[in-house]
Chains A and B, each alone.
Chain A
């Protein structure tokens, strides 16, 4: 067990609907991240958190919001899903002197 879980694993939603993805960790790490993975683009940072209620934008934050009310949970919300947000979303956690540990990903399809 990598100490990080994402839910749901797969989701299909309609354009214009709100969607929330959840990342849960059991490692008590301070840092949490949301990335999206797209062919030809690699991984791009959406938002990250450096503590409870402390979040900041990444490279591709438009159309996304996040919340972190507890150390263990980091939520990614698409307020009004668009087809361009069809992607695989990865959450990651980090201790300060090591690389990231990634979740298994959420495959989101917006139709």
Chain B
């Protein structure tokens, strides 16, 4: 079964501190992994996807297939990073599109 686990409901850090939001997944095939961010009462926005290997707003995430993880990291947190973060997985089905499966989310709070 496909599953995404975000072990922390809430993560609180001080401004300037490093941040790591954990995401572990369960899927036997070749997954696509994403991070979405939701600022207060706004729509979810795509932050990162593993296949593009990009850095957005200072965030990076590396897919570790051995540990089945896709942790989101930022070296220096900013107050504007405070938001809800969702990790999501999509199964690759050889041409047909699988649906996104979301973790339960981690609320990041960056204190001044």
A42 pairs with B105, CB closer than 8 A: yes
Contact indicator B102/A43 (Cβ below 8 Å): yes
The reply to whether the CB of B64 lies closer than 8 angstroms to some CB of chain A is no
0/1 interface trace, chain B 40-53, chain A, CB 8 Å (1 if under): 00111110010000
Report how far A40 CA is from B103 CA in the complex, Å: 10
Which residues does chain A contribute within 8 Å of B101, judged by CB atoms? 45
Q: Is the interface of A mostly helix, strand, loop or mixed?
A: strand
Contact across chains for B49 and A99 when beta carbons are under 8 A apart: yes
* A104 and B42 form a contact (CB under 8 A): yes
Interface string of A30-64 (1 = CB under 8 A from B): 01010100001111110010100000001000000
Question: How many interface residues does chain B have, given as a range?
Answer: 20 to 34
- Residues in A with CB closer than 8 Å to B28 are none
Contact of B22 with A by CB under 8 A: no
Separation of A98 and B54 alpha carbons in the complex (Å):
14
Give the contacts of B1-59 with A (CB-CB under 8 A): 6, 9, 34, 36, 42-46, 49
Q: By the criterion CB–CB under 8 Å, are B43 and A102 in contact? A: yes
A96 located at the interface, meaning its Cβ lies under 8 Å from any Cβ of chain B in the complex: yes
Is B73 in the interface zone, CB < 8 Å from A? no
Min CB distance A32 to B, Å, is 11
Is B99 touching A103 in the complex (CB atoms < 8 A)?
Answer: no
Q: Which 8 A-B pairs have the closest CB atoms?
A: A42-B104, A43-B102, A99-B46, A102-B44, A102-B43, A42-B105, A104-B43, A42-B102
